[in-house]
Structure 1
Amino acid sequence: MFYPLTVRDFLDRAEQVYPDRVAVIDEPEQPAASLGEITYREMAALARAQAARLDALGVPVGGRVAFVSENSARLLTSFYGVSGFGRVLVPVNFRLSTAEIGYIVGHSGADVVYADPAHRHVLDALDVTHKFVLGDDDDLYARDAEPRPWDDPDENATATINYTSGTTARPKGVQLTHRNNWLNATVFGLHTTISDRDVYLHTLPQFHANGWGMPFAMTGVGAQHVILRKVDGTEILRRVQRHGVTAMCAAPAVIAAALDAAPDWSGDIPGRDRVRIIAAGAPPPTRTIERVLDELGWEFIQIYGLTETSPLVTVNRQRAEWDALSTHERARRLGRAGAPALGVRVTVDADGEVLTQSNHNLAGYWEQPEATAEAQAGNWFHTGDGGIVDDDGYLVISDRKKDVIITGGENVSSIEVEDALMSYPAVKEVAVIGIPDDKWGELVTGLVVTDGSAVSAPDLIAHCRESLAGYKCPKRIDFVAELPRTATGKLQKFKLREEFWSERDRQVN
């Protein structure tokens, strides 16, 4: 017997086993009316109503539906209301500029775009058949209709297209299939030991690699979701206390926010010996991991992956053999990217690049067959990261071979930032690199050669803000006389990075 794996399996099980359990506690303070507390029975009904609404709009199986929103119960439900009925969800980074969002919507071919009220201005710039501002439920749900069934479900059909910045100025659309998402979620849930006793706080953007798969995994075991619209350290601690949160996923900047809020917290830190925080995006310093273990009393788990790998590649979680070690030594070991997850193979090629094989590597880049073939050459996914596999079998990321900066957990294409800076008349040459930063992991930094005209760093940063999302804009501008190049004129960024990274063991932070 063969039965196709689809993402709807997770909500179907939750509705059958936990129909009257509170599934989601929505963000109470948001421009769109909060859905409040809804049960799994109600969540499943909303997913069907959303599918019925898309039926009425004439969106076929395989049609793309874009969603521009902060974390919300509506976006969480859309993973099932859209993808669960054979259509393709395109969750868009709401932090992007209007032009960037317009490119993604156009490139994906989305016929329907839903936007949070805070981003209604984006819709004005889009040329699409159907566009709606969230908040009026009739825009999203047809509550009195039953959706057409997905007659021929296919686990290899594209479930989501997630756009990611890479080595090109334009983001690439990562096609993740139902099989990709299903296996990533179940393997992730296995390694993090989730259960129906969990309460999951959405500190990770749901658009970001589909919340790494936790929207699926936690739903499948009947755990409770607590929505957080905007990261705030004090609010994270408050919700851990109020709702009994047991798990969250986070970039290093989110961990820093919780640590910064802890000294001003009145009473014991909530969640001690209960919360596990799962980090990715960049390896935090050993000292940060120590502080999570000592000051918060939370379990620290690190994973490594990319949007293209759904994203799980490796997992690093404290082992029984480490229990007697000092906090510092445990933290040092937890700073590695981790050991391959179940069903994942990892190797390092002769050039030091990390390669991986798994059942949840991307199907391809949307409408970019050449980029797909290059990334999947030899039936291995080429991560673009440099690393080693140590004697324990753990992957250690040591360098980033592709021209990407990871700041606050978000990928930034240095080429894209360079293009923005070069469009300023006084800029003659430019190189953009990431430098170590304790808060953001890496700081987007522009090294600029001018034509001699008067120009300031604030001038250039403001100029970038006209065309780039805020997190992509340089936070630092250094004016230099020249940039190092080879005899053939190729820019040698490794030399520019040396000044900032020379005292570091790894060329990532």
Structure 2
Amino acid sequence: METPLIVTDFLDQARSHYGDEEAIVGTDGERFTYAEFGERVDRFAAALQDRGIEKGDRVAVLDPNTHYHLEAAHGAMGIGAVHTPLNYRLEPDDYEYILSDAGVDAIYADYEYAEKIEAIRDDVPTETFITNDAAAVEGDWESFDAVLEDTAPEYDRPEMAEDEVITINYTSGTTGDPKGVCRTHRTETIHAYLMSIYHEITDDDTYLWTLPMFHVNGWGHIYAVTGMGATHVCTRGVNADDVVSSIRDEDVSLLCAAPAVLNQLIDYYETEGEPEMTGANPVRVTTAGSAPPEATIRAVEDRFGWYLKHLYGATETGPLITISDAKRLIDDGNRFEIKKRQGMGVLGTDVRVVDEDGNDVPRDDQTLGEVVVRGNQIMDRYWNKPEATEEAFTDRVEGYYHTGDLATIDENGMIALRDRKKDIIISGGENISSIELEDTLFDHEAVADAAVIPAPSDEWGETPKAFVVPSNGDPTDPPVSAEELTAFTREQLAGYKVVRRVEYVKELPKTATGKTQKYELRQQEWADEDRMIGEG
């Protein structure tokens, strides 16, 4: 018997079995059972239908990790609308592009970020605007809680098919505008299953939301944690003191954290005199992005007493495609080496490392190739970008998603990233396009030429660094200071994209056809590192 995989099943399951159990701890301490959470979701779904939102319409959510995000997401999906989470670190121009590109019909925005939407309100197709604190926001916004109070919890749930798109997650690319990653009921469900398996989620887990919910739907945890009947502990961003307090006070057992967040926690631990880092439950933590250095893993496991896992993937892949948690392969002598690797493919996922002709490279942990992947959790397509979709699935091997990451693979089939094919910088878990930064620098009259690459950072794994040829041709006496260029990028871009380091040069290395050889710059910058990818 074949049963369609539909994302509404996750909350339905929790309500059926865990209605009286705690579902959510809000950022203000408010608590909701699964029955209460489910009713709020129903009311929001009904409110959307009352405002003309139908199956297939896009509903954007701009929110830190609060209960409103969970309610808005599940409410939208309950009527078959397409959940479109937004990165709260972006700027108004970014939101204008995304809301217009996706044709967003309604948006819920947290009061702290709603002003960025208000600034471009007249330039987007969106007609319904809801926030959690209308009094704190200029413009005509409805109050989330008032909307719920005025709406009965009954709505018409449409028929849904597992191959229909239910979320669009926008991700930064190597060229200009971000791409909308379309994920179906099936891809979201399979991915949530995989996260439940590899994060070993059970109904007595308490999950702390340090990972942004907008990141590919919180790595699927908005589904997996919910479906298992576990408890969500919400946050408004990452503050080390609050994180540690929540872990102790709420007996947190699971969280996810980029290496940059782990480093923040290590600094806190050392500054505060090595406080207790657990509550009543043992803690599991998963990290991704740039591999953490050995010192970070050692501190987390040996000093905090947590168990660390390292996964790898991308927005297009769910993200989970590999994990380093290979207990049968780990011994006292190789623990850190294995945990730093991106790992082996998870169940039902075919991960290969291939050469330029699409042939598998030898498992010698020496030969470089591109990571390509095929699995049920891989995206359906890019929204309104058929050419980009075709390229992503056909470049070297037909039918595989091409990650653009270069890696080696060992005898056990565990991959290790060595470099990037694409010019993407991953800083603190955020994707930053080097081309976008270069375009911004070129807008400054004192910049004749520029190339931006990832530079090693103990705090962020990688940080943007610009090699700049000044307009006067004299790198020893440029007409603009490095600090002024940093300030210039801060004025133009989201804060996490700012060029943190600037080095003036006489000229950039070029090919015979005039293309900048960034590989040479990366080699120079990462000469003292084990790999040319941010590992601290």
What TM-score do you get using the length of structure 1 for normalisation? 0.95
Partner of 1:126: 121
Partner of 2:228: 221
Find the aligned partners of 2:463 and 2:80 in 1 and give their Cα distance.
Answer: 40
SS at match of 1:90: strand
Find the aligned partners of 2:66 and 2:440 in 1 and give their Cα distance.
Answer: 32
1:154-213 deviations in Å (ceiling 9; x for gaps): 111111111101111111110011111110011111112110110000000000111001
| Alignment of 1:203 onto 2:218 | no
Contact 2:131 2:144 in 1 (8 A): no
Partner of 2:383: 366
Partner of 2:364: none
Find the aligned partners of 1:268 and 1:425 in 2 and give their Cα distance.
Answer: 53
| Alignment of 1:78 onto 2:72 | yes
In structure 2, stretches of 5+ residues that fail to align are 134-142, 357-368, 473-477
- Read off the aligned partner of 1:6 and give its amino acid letter: I
Find the aligned partners of 1:406 and 1:144 in 2 and give their Cα distance.
Answer: 43
- Where in structure 2 are the equivalents of 1:99-248 lying within 5 Å? 99-124=93-118, 125-127=120-122, 128-135=126-133, 136-138=143-145, 140-141=147-148, 144-248=151-255
Partner of 2:512: 487
Find the aligned partners of 2:408 and 2:150 in 1 and give their Cα distance.
Answer: 53
Partner of 2:528: 503
C-alpha spacing 1:428/1:69, structure 2 compared with 1 (3 Å):
same
2:335 is matched with which residue: 309, 330, 335? Answer: 330
2:409 is matched with which residue: 383, 389, 406? Answer: 389
Corresponding pairs, count: 500
Partner of 2:310: 302
In structure 1, stretches of 5+ residues that fail to align are 29-33
1:471 Cα shift?
A: 0.4
Find the aligned partners of 1:291 and 1:272 in 2 and give their Cα distance.
Answer: 20
C-alpha RMSD of matched pairs (Å): 1.6
Find the aligned partners of 1:272 and 1:375 in 2 and give their Cα distance.
Answer: 45
- Read off the aligned partner of 1:288 and give its amino acid letter: T
Find the aligned partners of 2:102 and 2:161 in 1 and give their Cα distance.
Answer: 20
SS at match of 1:374: helix
- Where in structure 2 are the equivalents of 1:340-351 lying within 5 Å? 340-351=345-356
Find the aligned partners of 2:429 and 2:35 in 1 and give their Cα distance.
Answer: 34
Find the aligned partners of 1:132 and 1:84 in 2 and give their Cα distance.
Answer: 18
- Read off the aligned partner of 1:441 and give its amino acid letter: G
- Which stretch of the first structure deviates more once superposed, 485-494 or 283-292? 283-292
Find the aligned partners of 1:454 and 1:38 in 2 and give their Cα distance.
Answer: 58
2:35 is matched with which residue: 26, 34, 41? Answer: 41
- Which stretch of the first structure deviates more once superposed, 231-240 or 203-212? 231-240
1:86-127 deviations in Å (ceiling 9; x for gaps): 000111001001111111111111011221111121122123
What TM-score do you get using the length of structure 2 for normalisation? 0.90
SS at match of 2:322: strand
Contact 2:248 2:280 in 1 (8 A): no
- Which stretch of the first structure deviates more once superposed, 281-290 or 243-252? 281-290
Partner of 1:31: none
Find the aligned partners of 1:123 and 1:439 in 2 and give their Cα distance.
Answer: 31
Partner of 1:461: 486
C-alpha spacing 1:212/1:473, structure 2 compared with 1 (3 Å):
same
1:33-71 deviations in Å (ceiling 9; x for gaps): x7x101100111111111111101101110001111111
2:295 is matched with which residue: 273, 287, 301? Answer: 287
Contact 1:271 1:297 in 2 (8 A): no
- Which stretch of the first structure deviates more once superposed, 262-271 or 200-209? 262-271
- Read off the aligned partner of 1:103 and give its amino acid letter: Y
Contact 1:273 1:299 in 2 (8 A): no
Q: Once superposed, which parts of structure 1, at least 4 consecutive aligned residues long, lie more than 4 Å away? A: none
Partner of 2:21: 21
1:454 Cα shift?
A: 1.5
| Alignment of 1:401 onto 2:421 | yes
Find the aligned partners of 1:116 and 1:273 in 2 and give their Cα distance.
Answer: 32
Contact 2:425 2:431 in 1 (8 A): yes
Partner of 2:344: 339
Partner of 1:3: 3
- Where in structure 2 are the equivalents of 1:257-296 lying within 5 Å? 257-263=264-270, 264-265=272-273, 267-271=275-279, 274-296=282-304
- Which stretch of the first structure deviates more once superposed, 416-425 or 260-269? 260-269
C-alpha spacing 1:384/1:288, structure 2 compared with 1 (3 Å):
same
| Alignment of 1:440 onto 2:455 | no
Find the aligned partners of 2:280 and 2:345 in 1 and give their Cα distance.
Answer: 28
C-alpha spacing 1:8/1:196, structure 2 compared with 1 (3 Å):
same
1:332-376 deviations in Å (ceiling 9; x for gaps): 211100110111001111131100000011111111000001001
Find the aligned partners of 2:416 and 2:102 in 1 and give their Cα distance.
Answer: 35
Contact 2:44 2:75 in 1 (8 A): yes
Contact 1:426 1:451 in 2 (8 A): yes
1:4 Cα shift?
A: 1.6
1:227 Cα shift?
A: 0.6
Partner of 1:67: 61
1:267 Cα shift?
A: 4.5
Contact 2:285 2:307 in 1 (8 A): yes
- Read off the aligned partner of 1:401 and give its amino acid letter: K
Contact 2:466 2:503 in 1 (8 A): yes
SS at match of 2:492: coil
1:315 Cα shift?
A: 1.2
Partner of 2:324: 316
